[in-house]
Amino acid sequence: MVNEISKGLKILFILEFIIAYIYGITYLFFTEWYIEFVAWPYDDPIVGRMLGVSLMTFGTTSLIACLRKNWDTAKLAVELQIFWHILALFVVIGGAIILDLMEDIWIFVIILAPFLVAFLFFYIKELIKKS
């Protein structure tokens, strides 16, 4: 297929799906346990569950884009992932600075930043290929 997404992007979509569902299920169904486990200073299970649903939605978006295999279809999913990861990093880092939680956020940065870089890489690679 001429417009098929690359194998690397397919792998990235699958990894995003897996990680999103691991965290999504944890936040959705085990919110109180997770808050206690990481000693998060705020206990708001509704927000945690909403985050879980959001993560699972983004994971599902990645899975659908991977299964459709077409860049024209996958492009929107990649753009959403890029935008979401930028905003998520901004919120995590900004919140950690404001609330003095810098030692607590590194796992999120370690997970979010590589995904952002990878989605940007494939997006730019596809734009260059099209021009």
DSSP characters over the chain: -TTBPPHHHHHHHHHHHHHHHHHHHHHHHSHHHHHHHTT-S---HHHHHHHHHHHHHHHHHHHHHHHH-BHHHHHHHHHHHHHHHHHHHHHHHHHHHHHT-GGGSHHHHHHHHHHHHHHHHHHHHHHHHH-
Compute the average pLDDT of residues 74-89. Answer: 94
Compute the average pLDDT of residues 106-110. Answer: 85
Can you give the pLDDT at residue 38? 72
For 33-37, 85-89, 126-130, which range has the lowest pLDDT when averaged over its residues? 33-37
Q: Would the pLDDT of 103 be above 80?
A: no
Compute the average pLDDT of residues 67-81. Answer: 92
Can you give the pLDDT at residue 66? 94
Summary mean pLDDT of the chain: 88
